[in-house]
Structure 1
Amino acid sequence: MEKHLIFMDIDGTLVAKDQKISNKTRSVVTELQQAGHQFYVATGRKYSSAVDVAKRLTAQTQVIASNGSIYSIDEMLHKKRLSDKALQFIYQTITAHDLPMFFFGEHTIFYTQQLPSYLQKNDQSRIGSSEEDFRFIDSLETLMAVSQRIVNGIVIADEREAELEQVRKILEESGLLSVSSSHPNNIELIPLGVNKATAIQAVRNSLAVPQKNIISFGDGLNDLEMLQASGVSVAMGNAVDELKRHAKFITDTNVEDGIANFLIDYFS
């Protein structure tokens, strides 16, 4: 069978809330890699967190991180970052609405306001791995002093979806960055013209794999472009309805081995 490239979102797709990868999924991916197919995780997470998950899946799994801002091809790392103008505009806009911001480097999270307890404890494996991974941003000057280290960011605010939608429109109309969302409670802040699909395009062009042999799995709206760029687009059973409407296939949920079950059927 011709070589395929398979891209998998992490949260809500490859893993559940406990951050574990099932033995069934690991076994299926390993078998397909041995047959010559190549796998990537494709996530909004920072690079070091994405690498951790990829290596827990298999040693050969590659990475697209920060919603396409960082990706690897044959062990070479490619990176784009939010511009200084974008960072200034984001900070001023979000601060005016008193919303919390998180900016991601390859290894560090820069945050404003108070770090939520779910990032410090229960969900720390989702974004960070130790206290040293976090750095507080108390002003625009502090942010700009580390601007060269910042790749992308996110705004997270539960129960303020209406206000988030207003802010998202302001950010979109600025023309300084790309925005997306993996959940109604957030706005993903991404370098202009970048998304998971642009990274996939770069990877498949470099590896000379036709679009019909691109398989992607996702569950959130920040996976939409990725699915649209793939010959075989698969929404998880737990995916948001809009993503399901754009996918060619719907598989089982992330806790029901949806990725493994689809791949077994597809390659059998």
Structure 2
Amino acid sequence: MTKIVFFDIDDTLLDAQKELPASAKAAVRQLQKQGIYTAIATGRAPFFISPVLAELNIHSYICFNGQYVVFENEAIYKNPINRYALQQIDETARERDYPLVYMNEITMKANVPHNELIEKSLRSLKLSHPEFDPHFYKNKEIYQALIFANENAGRDLPEVDDVTYIRWHESSLDIVPKGGSKAEGIKQMIGRLGFQMEDVVAFGDGMNDIEMLQEAGTGVAMGNAHQVVKDHADFVTTNVENDGIVNGLKEIGLLSREFDTVKQ
């Protein structure tokens, strides 16, 4: 193996309807046939990427924007959020009426019984409102939290030294440990394979993909990516719905120009 390719999931592998295009599936299968290692790098939690992993026959993945890394079905790196930081966030968010969702590798819980912003944001991922458990973060390792605030109302987020906020939806932001990123998760995984960052290819579209695209040997932004994300990529491919994965892999030479997804 000479390369490892990391794929973001939402709006990179999956289209706007959260479906995996046949061309993307065929492209990943072809990479695997060629001996190129394939992996996932996502902001999602492990408990809701299993259908994608199974469909693509992928067993290594980075979740929670780099805080939980699995190599060949074995967790090799965990970076939970500091519990004192979580307490500070919870107290301040309650004062400012910003609801929260806490996630570990198994499940997620909300600190409010119901909230429309939670409903709206998670619906975009085809997820339902989590169960209410205001004490969940107190006795579980939390790898990522979500805070729900519209873009014009999110300027007074809790100021906590140990975390970083990354917006992933108009109504929500990820909360991850400061210094944590998909790029850091990639470094944890490639050590197992004896690869260097120059051997890494990364595909992404969101703000949480910027560091990954910057540090990878080759960073490919989807055509549907934010412009600021494209600005940090080495290549820009077409939209996910327009064979973006296939076209990007052809552009960087990992698939031949003659590769035909219809024949796969």
Common fold by TM > 0.5: yes
Could you tell me whether the CA contact under 8 Å between 2:102 and 2:137 is conserved in 1?
A: no
The residue number in structure 2 matching 1:39 is: 38
| Matched positions, count | 252
Could you tell me whether the CA contact under 8 Å between 2:59 and 2:71 is conserved in 1?
A: no
The residue number in structure 2 matching 1:54 is: 53
Pairwise CA distance, 1:163: 2.6
Identity of aligned residues (%): 27
Which stretch shifts more, 252-261 or 71-80? 71-80
Could you tell me whether the CA contact under 8 Å between 1:49 and 1:126 is conserved in 2?
A: no
C-alpha distance after superposition, 1:21-45 (max 9, x if no partner): 1111111111111211111121111
Structure 2 residue ranges without an equivalent (≥5): 257-264
- Which letter maps to 1:161? E
The answer on 1:198 being equivalent to 2:184 is yes
TM-score, length-scaled by structure 2: 0.86
Pairwise CA distance, 1:164: 1.1
Q: Choose the corresponding residue for 1:161, options 142, 151, 156.
A: 151
The residue number in structure 2 matching 1:67 is: 65
Q: How does 1:99-138 map to 2 (within 5 A)?
A: 99-113=98-112, 114-116=114-116, 119=119, 123=123, 126-127=126-127, 134-138=130-134
After superposition, the Cα gap between the structure-2 partners of 1:121 and 1:101, relative to the gap in structure 1 and judged at 3 Å, is closer
Provide the C-alpha distance between the structure 1 equivalents of 2:122 and 2:73, rounded to a whole number of angstroms: 32
Corresponding residue SS for 1:110: strand
Could you tell me whether the CA contact under 8 Å between 2:42 and 2:65 is conserved in 1?
A: yes
Could you tell me whether the CA contact under 8 Å between 2:118 and 2:148 is conserved in 1?
A: no
Could you tell me whether the CA contact under 8 Å between 2:102 and 2:136 is conserved in 1?
A: no
Corresponding residue SS for 2:152: helix
Could you tell me whether the CA contact under 8 Å between 1:46 and 1:104 is conserved in 2?
A: yes
Provide the C-alpha distance between the structure 1 equivalents of 2:14 and 2:28, rounded to a whole number of angstroms: 14
After superposition, the Cα gap between the structure-2 partners of 1:112 and 1:74, relative to the gap in structure 1 and judged at 3 Å, is same
The residue number in structure 1 matching 2:261 is: none
Provide the C-alpha distance between the structure 2 equivalents of 1:127 and 1:229, rounded to a whole number of angstroms: 31
C-alpha distance after superposition, 1:131-177 (max 9, x if no partner): 8xx33134xxx24443x2422111133xx31331331xx43xx3122
Structure 1 residue ranges without an equivalent (≥5): none
After superposition, the Cα gap between the structure-2 partners of 1:184 and 1:79, relative to the gap in structure 1 and judged at 3 Å, is same
Corresponding residue SS for 1:24: helix
What's the Cα RMSD here? Answer: 2.4
Corresponding residue SS for 2:102: strand
Provide the C-alpha distance between the structure 1 equivalents of 2:201 and 2:214, rounded to a whole number of angstroms: 10
More helix by share: 1
Could you tell me whether the CA contact under 8 Å between 2:9 and 2:41 is conserved in 1?
A: yes
